[in-house]
Amino acid sequence: MFLSKEISDFKPHKTGFKKVFGDLEADIMKIIWKSEEVTVREVYEELKLEKKLAYTTVMTIMNRLAEKNLLKRESRGNAFAYTPTISENDFATQVVSEVLDGLLEDFADPALSHIVESLSSKDSQKLNRLEQLIQERRAKGEG
């Protein structure tokens, strides 16, 4: 499966999809998953609001994502339109299964006992619920 190539470098200390992508790759994929079909210009304009970067950098990264089969590139007049080949949820599911399979292959006992421990932890369940609430309120503009 094509994902094993992406997950060759899993970074547990990072957050979200930055665990499996480069920082900019993760930001770009987030925008594309949100918008379904985009051009390099559209992604560049959105990223430019948050960070200083060159148009060509965005184009290079999007081409690289297309080469990895995560994006489909189609010609739209003078520009190319990019669409994701996999939905955000499906990608997350695939990342989880590949990482877990990799761990279970070599470290089945400690991996399983840790999963059981985490599932029974009320603290992390509660914090995950609170985090969702915080993100919704921040999206509405609360400080």
Give, in order, the Cα–Cα distances in Å from 65 to each of 9, 10, 55, 69, 92: 15, 17, 16, 6, 16
Long-range contacts at 76-79 (CB < 8 A, ≥ 24 apart): 76/39, 79/39, 79/40, 79/41
Between residues 12 and 77, which has the closer beta carbon with respect to another protein? 12
Backbone angles phi, psi at 21, to 5 degrees: -110, 170
Residues 9-38 touching another protein, rule: CB under 8 A, are 13-15, 18
Where does this chain touch another protein (CB under 8 A) — which range of 31-39, 58-66, 73-81, 130-138? 130-138
131 touches another protein by CB under 8 A? yes
Residue 137 sits in the site that holds another protein (CB under 8 A): yes
Q: In the complex, which residues of this chain contact another protein (CB under 8 A)?
A: 13-15, 18, 121, 123-124, 126-127, 130-131, 133-135, 137-138, 142-143
